[in-house]
Structure formats: structure tokens, C-alpha cells
Structure 1
Amino acid sequence: MMLQIDTANKLLKDVVEDSLAFSATARKGVLLLEDGTRFEGLSFGYEQATAGEVVFCTGMVGYPEALTDPSYTGEILTMTYPIIGNYGVPDARRWEGDRIHAAGLIVSNYIPTPSHFESTMDLSTWLKREKIPALEIKDTRLLTQHIRKHGTMLAKIVFDEDIPFHNPYADNLVARVSTSEVREYGSGETTIALIDCGAKHNIIRSLVARGVRVVEVPWDYDLFADDRPFDFDGILVSNGPGNPKVAEKTIQTLRAAMEHEIPIMGICLGHQLLALAAGGDTYKLKFGHRSQNQPCLLAGEKRCYITTQNHGFAVGTVPEGFEPWFINANDNTNEGMRHRSLPFFSVQFHPESTPGPMDTEWLFDLFLEKVYEAKGALI
């Protein structure tokens, strides 16, 4: 017992000493908000200015998955959990994208001494390798309260040289993160076309694990072209960044799919795109939902699911023929919809989780049931 206590005390001493050494040598930087608010901090990432929209995530874990989630493209991510970097960076097979997509990172306490058996490097090394700025700002609580009060806003991390603010929603972020080629995963007699608007890797893993073939296509791919080199039985439209109304070609594809009554499942941005394709409408939330602890109620029931979320827009008008399916228990915003008679449904949250709870993973099974029914196959 005494040996264990001594070992723990030594580890704690090492962590404190390394943190003090980091604080003494780190370069200073500033987070500037478009309303003039200023936060000074210490750099532990790539020391080059960056601009985007500042947002916050209330998850306690999952910073590697969040940073590599394409939905964070153009956003300076603030982690509200006070200790970040403590378990390092896992192998790329654990990431949700092929690289870091967030424009920058803000934390309260950066831990330069990670401890985890799967860690391949410390967070600072990874950020510098991928040229992502990051600041340790002690009062992230004040920053988060400011965002909640005034809404998400443009921001920039600067060092010696200033740069202009940049509105990421002026860009087609979906086109930036989508695959540029057709890719295949898994095998099976059933094929799902995955429209990649910035898909998290675990969407593909979740489908392949259920014995289907997944064909990932670009956001603007014509699934109904005569020269299409593959057939498909259902469509899953993925998560992704930015304003859904910019992805007009994806919306057109979904309209054609509904005309053919092909089973459709939408996730996050895909939920918003399906709503727009069916005649509904979307709007920008004040500060969005980003965490692994968002409660969602099954519409008309008392059952609540805990979900992973990352979005700044929401469905404001559920289209004709659809019914609300899930409701956010915090602010009553729409979290899902399903068609009253046809095999179309979508959810605002992430049933593939990673990070986060797996409460709603059953939605993939429901989707494939719809696909098999449409094929006339036995379930």
C-alpha cells in the first residue's frame, strides 16, 4: 500500500513539475472575439494565427475524436472540461477523420504528461504536427458563459501578427471536407450509398459491422446517373459542417431518392438536408449543441436517450408528411423526424457516438430493417 501511495505521489509531483515548466516557457497568445472581448493565454499548439467561429463543447472525454470530426471545420473549439491532454493522442484508427479539422483549440488546463496505454504522442506534438493553434486560457468558464449569453461569434487566435476575422459559413465547408472519390468498405448483398458531407469514420464502421457493403460518394455525386458503376439499396447522408442550405446538390439528390422511395437515413447535417429536400426549413442556433451529454426525448413519450451532438443549425420546420420523432430535453429543439408512411427518417444527434453513449445505436438496425423491407428480403 505504501509503495502505491509513493508511486502516486511521484506521478503527481512529475505532473505538477511538467505543468510549471510548460507555464514558464510557453509563448503567450490571445483569443480575440468579434465583439472586442479578449482572452490571454499560453500556447501549446502551432504558433500561427487562425480565424473562425468560437464554440464550446461540454464533453468530459473525446478530444481526439472531436478534433478530427469534420463537423468542427472552421470552428475554434473550446473544451469546458478543465483537464485536456491527460490521456494523450491515440492511434489514427481511433480518430473520426483523417486529420484535425478544428481551426483551433482552447482549454483551461493543458496536461503535457499524458498517461494512457494507447497514447502515441502528447496533444501538443499532434497539434504542432497538424499546424493547429491552441491556447491554455484559465477562465474557459467565463468564455463559455459569454458565448451562451451572446451566441457563437467570429474569433481569432493571434500571436505577433494580427489577421482579419473570417466567417467560415461564407465558404462551402461540405465541399472542403467531402471525399473526392468513390470508396468501398465491407461486403454483403446489401449496399448502402453513404453521401459524405463530412462523415465520421464510425458511421462506416457501424454499417460494415452489420454486414453490409458501404459505397462512400462525394457530396455532389449523381447517384441516379445512367453510368453509375454500382447499385444501391439505401442512402445514408452523413454529418458535416456549415450551413445545410449551401449543399444544394445533396438536397437535389435526396429529392430524387424520395421520388424513387429509396430508404433514407440522415445524421446531423444529413437530418437538416433531408428536411430541406422534403420542403422543411432550418435555422442557426444561438450557441449550438456540442457534447456527449445531450438528453433527447422520444416524441410523445417519457423515454429519454443521452446522445452525442455537434451542430450549430437545427430543423425549424418539419416538412409535410413527416412527424417529429425526438425532442431536445434542454431547449425543445427538434432532434429527429420520420415519414409517416415511407422509409425516410433522420436524427440530429449521432447514433454512432464516438465519443459518447451508445443509447441510440439501434437506429442503424432500424434503417437496415427499412432497407431489407424495401428489397423484399427476409429480416
Structure 2
Amino acid sequence: MKMKVFVLYGGRSAEHEVSLRTAFTVLGSMDRSRYDVYPVYITTDGLWSCNGAMKEPFASKEELVLTAAGGDPAGSIGEVLSRYFSLPGKKAVLPLLHGSYGEDGTVQGLLELLDIPYVGNGVLSAALTLDKAMCKKVLEQEGIAQTRHVTLSPEQWLDGREDVMDWIEGEVGYPCYVKPASLGSSIGISRCPSRSELEAGIVQAFRYDRKLVVETEIVGREIQVAVMGNGAPVASLPGEFLHGVDFFDFQAKYMDQSLRMSVPAELPSHLLEEIRTLALRAYIALDCAGLARVDFFVDGQGGIFLNEINALPGFTGTSMYPVMWERTSGIPYGELLDRLLDYGIARHEEKRRLQFAR
């Protein structure tokens, strides 16, 4: 009997559209001679929908938007779980939910309660890696260099905007970046070269999150590393997007047809190896499992600063994560999915060997 793989995508996040892009590629690439693939679409209102095992790959991204029955999230989740997740045989879940309510430990906690193996990071590491502020605290304890930054709450902002901006100017300076703490894909992020733009950037970012990170700009290059594995992770060759913009925003990441990748990045070999080592240190410090992409800045003097960790990186055919593995180890896209599923199953089996009673 083939393994049932439930692919979760969409979700209650500003990254809903990015999730659809990832899911379209993944669903079209899975080996259906090895897996029975069950697409599970989650609306922006949190309603779950599944029409059973996929018979043919979807012809377009728009076809992924399945019609969800009315009602509330609890009812729709219960319907999908009881009708499909309870089917007999081996099963695993592939969460492709970027951002809130999917990449932040919430879905991972549900899957832990269901005792079903799943791809990617566990509850703690998923929550830590999505929350940029908490992630930075852990990496600081690990002694990994980062950009100068502060964390801002809505209470601080409401207590006195002028005082907050004075504080940020003193601690971070200009230009700086304002980021929602728990979002990716550059959504809600602003590059702020002045006080007026800082104020506007903070107002915009609070539309997406109740906690912000404001950090200084590093003039240099953005270098990425793909990591995979459980207890003994491995790192790819570092890669770099080649672009000509000051701020690599959502438009540049997903709409610029001239965007190119350089893997390995054109850096001295000692810097490439140091970046790989730092990526593994960060991955282990945050108790990551399965996969993550670790992003760095390299300044003009060769200084290396960890920017952030993405525990569910983009996974289209032209996303950096799968391309880095293909160019590092010759691993094709479909085989990479197989390996990540195997890591999730191995982690689940290891956890089930633990004793939970005296």
C-alpha cells in the first residue's frame, strides 16, 4: 500500500499566495507511484477542504483553491481529519503553509497530537524561527553575529511615537528596516532612510503583526544556505540572488523575470565555508529538523551577519532552496521531496521510542 501524503497549503496568512505557488510545484512533482497525494486547501478564514487523493496534477495554480464547506474552522478541520486523516495505512503530512497559522508551530502542535509524522520543524523550532525577535535572542546567546536591532511592541508605540523614534535612531540609525516579527516573503517590510519613512514603515508593519523588529542596514551582499537533516544536518553551498535593487522586496523576489542565481556565490572559499558552518550552528541552536534556509549578509570587509532563518523556504522549481541542493549534490527536485519526507518519518519514529509513562 502506498503512503498517504497530506499536503497542506493556503492558510490564514498574508503569505497565502506564496503558499499556493509552492504547493503548485510540489503537487506536480510528487511521485504518485510511491505516494497517494491528498491536497488539503486552507482558506484565509481557516476553513479546511479536501476532495480526496489527487488523480492528476493540477493544470493551474487557480485550481488549487478548493471549495470549502461553510461553517467554522473547527467543523471543517474535524471533517477533513475524520474523513481522510483517519484512513488506514502509512501516512505523513507535508505542511506548505508559509507564515502565521502554519509555519509558527500551530499546525505542528496539531499534528503532534494526531501522532502523524510531518515534514519540517517541530513546535518549538517552528515558533522560534518564525518569530524574528525570539530567534535573534537565541542566536545572540549562541554568539552568532547579527545586525544591530531593537524589538518594538504596540504598547511602546502608543505610549509615545516621538520617543520611540528617538530611541530607534540612537540604537539602530538610518537607513534601517522595519519588519513584522512573524512574517516572511518581505511582506510588510519597509526600508527607511529617514524619520518620516520610519514612522510610515512602523504604521504599515503593525498592520501585519503586534511585534516588530527594526534593524540597521548592512551594505553588502545577501547570501543563503540550504540546510537539511535531523540530528546530523548538512549544509549546501551558499547561493546568492543577483539583482540590482537596494531593497529585495516581494516584487523583486516573485515578479522580476531577470532575477538570476549564483550557486555557489562568488566569494573566497574560506568565507563560503565559514557561512556553511554558521548556518549549521544556527540550525542546531534552534533545534531545527528537516529543513531550513539560513540567510546572511556579507559586508565589504568580509564580515558575516546572520539575517534570519526560514524554516519553510519557498519551494518552487526556481526557489533558492531546491536549486542550491541540485547544484551542491545533484539532488533533483522530486528526490529532495522524498528525502524531506524520510526525515519527517524518522523524527516521528525516534520520538515514538521515548517513554511517556513511569
Report the TM-score, using the length of structure 2 for normalisation: 0.29
User: Higher relative contact order at CA 8 Å, sep ≥6: structure 1 or structure 2?
Assistant: 2
Structure having the higher strand fraction is: 1
Report the TM-score, using the length of structure 1 for normalisation: 0.28
